[in-house]
Amino acid sequence: MKYMGQPYNAAVKPLLILTPKEKILVDTGIGELPEKYQKLYNVKRTNQENLKTQLAQHGLRQEDIDIVVNTHLHFDHRGNNALFKNAKFIIQADEHKYAQEPDRFQQAAYMSELFDTKIDYEHVHGKRQITDGVHVVPTPGHSIGHQSVIVKAEDKNYVYCGDAAPTKENLERRNIPGVLYCAHKALKSIDELRAIENAVYIYSHDNEQPHL
């Protein structure tokens, strides 16, 4: 994705989690943008980078996804939500409420047109276990109700930071992201992520991070 007002190229990377019971997708990336936004955001995506194609490489269709966790509701993290009609959606209650406020900050990031789809969100208030070994933790700051996802596997905690720390630099240098709802809360969230023991961090917009 490249924001045309201030050029910045960034990867957009949802996360697929396969457990013995559920198939979970964390964030859904960028879908087809409303026409009035296409001049602002130059989305470069090959056929192989299409979300449906990516799922097919794992032998999955969108109908197979049981749970979608949205870290937050900015357009580049929930743009393909409408594809997953069989999924249960998990979002922090504060995030869902705020995203629909008419006078909200970051109006362009939330893109009200994307809320026309009928999605029944399950509202979370703070930390919540989603299934065995998978839970969400609140990491506000980038947005009012941002959440990150932690997957426990053997002796490791795999941490999908979302936009609480979209790149390795954000986390390692305590460098809070430029788009913020609250800088104080954003820095606190970074410190809480840094404090997780035996962590392997997954960054939503890091161009340099290799595949795990």
- For residue 130, being part of any structural domain is answered with yes
Number of domains in the chain: 1
Model confidence pLDDT, tens digit, residues 44-63: 777 777 899 999 999 999 99
| pLDDT of amino acid 5 | 44
Better-predicted residue by pLDDT, 136 or 4: 136
Indicate whether 145 pLDDT > 90.
Answer: yes
Of 73, 63, 64, the residue nearest 28 (C-alpha)? 73
Q: Tell me whether residue 205 is exposed, middle or buried, using C-beta atoms within 10 angstroms of its C-beta: 0 to 12, 13 to 18, 19 or more.
A: buried
Token digits of residue 49: 């980078």
| pLDDT of amino acid 116 | 60
Tell me how far apart the alpha carbons of residues 165 and 202 are, in angstroms, rounded to a whole number: 9
- For residue 23, being part of any structural domain is answered with yes
pLDDT exceeding 70 applies to what percent of the chain?
91
Provide the CATH number for the domain around residue 56. Answer: 3.60.15.10
Token digits of residue 10: 């960034």
Quote the domain boundaries for residue 49: 2-202
Better-predicted residue by pLDDT, 123 or 208: 123
Of 22, 20, 18, 61, the residue nearest 158 (C-alpha)? 18
- For residue 211, being part of any structural domain is answered with no
